[in-house]
Structure 1
Amino acid sequence: MEKKVSMQDIADRLNISKNSVSQALSGKPGVSEETRGLVQKVADELGYQYQTNRKQNQSEKNSPRNVALIASEYAFSLTSFFGKIYLSIEKELRDRGMNLFIESINNDSKENLILPALLTNHEIDGILILSHISTDYITSVIETGIPTVLIDHHSPYLQADSILTNNRFGAYMAVEHLIQLGHREIAFVGEIDYSPSYQERLEGYLLALNKYEIKPNQDFIFKNAKESPDEMTKVFENLHTQPTAWFCVNDGHGFLVTSLLQQKGIQIPEEVSVISFDNGQLSQISTPKITSMDIDLNYFGKKAVEQLCWRIDHKDEPIHEILLPTKLIIRASTAESKKSN
């Protein structure tokens, strides 16, 4: 399938900057009328579809804003995490008198850069993208010129506002909790290539060790461990010595580590402590319940809508990355832990 025409394609044809193309198509000042006409002509020739601005008369200024929420089918399936963010977005938009349009992106649309029809069939004022789809796909969405805010994802290649968890500081707090219990042999487990959040949690783990002058033990850092029973079993098989504590990149890894430790007859927390991240359902149904870093998912959605509304009214302001705090929820998996010698 032919790749969708982008602003960069128009810029390349006319040998001008993409920013000039955006200014010309959006009706913003900064380009001559001659350039504006040339850009529009090439855009029409190439079949570029651009979201035209609303006429700024009083009736349209007072009309409800329309917001599109876009996510991969996989992200929408993670109801315990992203489902809560979606519900908070829905409530916040409703409270503000705004309309919500939802689009799930399948693999075919992702691979062929097929944007949702709602971006052209409806007058969309702003876009929220939940989690990751692909860098190319999100870039194509941003290039529509519609104000866009990313939720729980960012990249050096994506020029859009992002609402993020403060993963580094959250991980730092989690590992510091283990250190303050007396642990020095602390394992890290997670798949850092899966998400920028997991890479940042590894960085927070290392920051805490460095702060307390604990040299990282490379035998205890499992940064390519997928969240599956088979993968986690391999992790345990590769251990030469047992750590006294585990920092798990999310609750799924925490649940698996807890289960495998118990299968080996290792008592939690008497012999080994376990701490995870997200404070989701798995950390709460585990036996024992797992200490975890809590993320306020309701605030995540509220802040995303707030930032999108600001961005709609301030299109030319610099890009923002907003970090939301986490909170340590102490449960039985670290209570009265045995201190290492």
Structure 2
Amino acid sequence: MKVKITMQDIADRLNISKNSVSQALSGKDGVSEETRKLIIDAAEEMGYIYSRGRKNTEEDAGTFVILASEFAFSQRNFFGEIYLSIEKEAAKRNKRMVIQSIDKHAADHLILPPILTDQSVDGILILSHITDPYIQAVTETGIPTVLIDHHYPGIQADSILTNNRYAAYLAVQHLIDLGHTQIGFIGNIPFSPSYYERLDGYRLALYQAGIEYNPVWVFDRAKEEMDYVYDAIQGLDTQPTAWFCVNDGFGFFINSVLNKLGYHIPLDVSIVSFDNGQLSRITTPMTTTMDVDLSYFGRKAVEQLFWRIHHPEEPYVEILLRSNLILRESTQQPKA
């Protein structure tokens, strides 16, 4: 079986950085002609396939690819708006966008699409989480890559993220300011690092307010399903006076379940959720939530990708975007 040669293999053989290999093979500035020739000779000898002499500038026409799991692409309300802003911003800069959905088989077996393996794109944007080994395989192509709404310590790429800890802190602080001291949390932290960070923000707000953390009211591996939420809430001996929900989906289910159990929102229980999506606006009453500027997410991702293309040797960065609290009718002071 033929072994696939990567840019990292060439870098290891020549004892240089992978970014230097990428610069040389894509025709960018940043390496000497002597080094470029050495890299090209090694690539050809080792059987590495690449597009000769491609050079990236903002003025050159070219292609960016958006990678995402099938699940992420199905979340049209959230990622659809991000994609539209990416497409619009890329078009302004003379770049064409190509969408590539990654199914479970490809993710599990680290099968990269041909558009990446033949080095025919100038940059990669990855929406949300695929798998960390798959994302690492993508970054090992040497093509400049920016992650959107995902990060992981072992991945060598820039990330554009919501400031989840700070945003969750603000959401829970709002409940505390209203007078709530019995505040529950519901979400599924293994699903995304973002959700884990929101749990951190919840705990930090309680800690700084001197409120004891009650694990009975924390469902951090919850299923985003009505039956699960119903059983979880019904099984509590004592109900909290407020809930912080890791996303609008859980906020919707908490609202529905509490109504079924005879509670009135917000008279008996207040609810705050996250994302300011459609589900936060169709509940009765509408849900107080943290707003994520999805359009800015996309614009910032494209801006960072262009920056990375022209600064391949700079340290990788995580850019945290602020969220704002949208006050609606689902929160008020607790009953005396």
TM over 0.5: yes
Aligned to 1:68: 65
Spell out the pairing of 1:118-157 with structure 2 (5 A cutoff).
118-120=115-117, 123-157=120-154
Q: What is the CA distance between 1:25 and its match in structure 2?
A: 5.0
8 Å Cα contact 1:51/1:144 also seen in 2: no
SS in 1 for 2:264: coil
8 Å Cα contact 2:26/2:54 also seen in 1: no
SS in 2 for 1:260: helix
Spell out the pairing of 1:130-209 with structure 2 (5 A cutoff).
130-209=127-206
**2:306 aligned to which of 309, 317, 324:** 309
Q: CA 1:46/1:226 → structure 2, altered by over 3 Å: closer, same or farther?
A: farther
**2:114 aligned to which of 106, 117, 140:** 117
8 Å Cα contact 2:268/2:334 also seen in 1: yes
Spell out the pairing of 1:221-240 with structure 2 (5 A cutoff).
221-240=218-237
1:88 aligns with 2:85: yes
When the two structures are superposed, what TM-score results if normalisation uses the length of structure 2?
0.90
Deviations 1:5-62 (A, max 9, x none): 43444556x484654755765677679959964x656645654444555258xxx884
- List 4+ stretches of structure 1 deviating above 6 A: 27-32
Aligned to 1:54: 54
When the two structures are superposed, what TM-score results if normalisation uses the length of structure 1?
0.89
Aligned to 2:272: 275
8 Å Cα contact 1:85/1:301 also seen in 2: yes
Aligned partners of 1:197 and 1:61: how far apart in 2? 32
Query: Which 10-residue stretch deviates more, 289-298 or 229-238?
Result: 229-238
Aligned partners of 2:177 and 2:48: how far apart in 1? 58
Aligned partners of 1:309 and 1:322: how far apart in 2? 15
Aligned partners of 1:53 and 1:316: how far apart in 2? 19
Q: CA 1:62/1:244 → structure 2, altered by over 3 Å: closer, same or farther?
A: closer
Aligned to 2:74: 77
Aligned to 1:320: 317
8 Å Cα contact 2:89/2:302 also seen in 1: yes
1:323 maps to amino acid: L
1:175 maps to amino acid: V
8 Å Cα contact 1:4/1:113 also seen in 2: no
Aligned to 2:105: 108
Aligned partners of 1:265 and 1:86: how far apart in 2? 41
**2:334 aligned to which of 325, 329, 338:** 338
Aligned to 1:300: 297
Q: What is the CA distance between 1:98 and its match in structure 2?
A: 1.9
**1:290 aligned to which of 287, 291, 297:** 287
Aligned to 1:213: 210
Deviations 1:143-192 (A, max 9, x none): 11111111000000111110000111110110001011110000011000
8 Å Cα contact 1:5/1:48 also seen in 2: yes
Aligned partners of 1:308 and 1:3: how far apart in 2? 30
Aligned partners of 1:287 and 1:138: how far apart in 2? 40
8 Å Cα contact 1:292/1:330 also seen in 2: yes
Structure 1: runs of 5 or more not aligned = none
Q: What is the CA distance between 1:311 and its match in structure 2?
A: 1.1
Aligned partners of 2:241 and 2:3: how far apart in 1? 52
Number of residues paired by the alignment?
334
Q: What is the CA distance between 1:111 and its match in structure 2?
A: 1.6
**2:248 aligned to which of 229, 248, 251:** 251
Q: What is the CA distance between 1:113 and its match in structure 2?
A: 1.4
2:94 maps to amino acid: G
Q: CA 1:266/1:46 → structure 2, altered by over 3 Å: closer, same or farther?
A: farther
Aligned partners of 2:65 and 2:109: how far apart in 1? 20
Aligned to 1:6: 6
SS in 2 for 1:235: helix
1:321 maps to amino acid: E
Q: CA 1:55/1:154 → structure 2, altered by over 3 Å: closer, same or farther?
A: closer
Structure 2: runs of 5 or more not aligned = none
Q: What is the CA distance between 1:68 and its match in structure 2?
A: 1.1
Q: CA 1:53/1:211 → structure 2, altered by over 3 Å: closer, same or farther?
A: farther
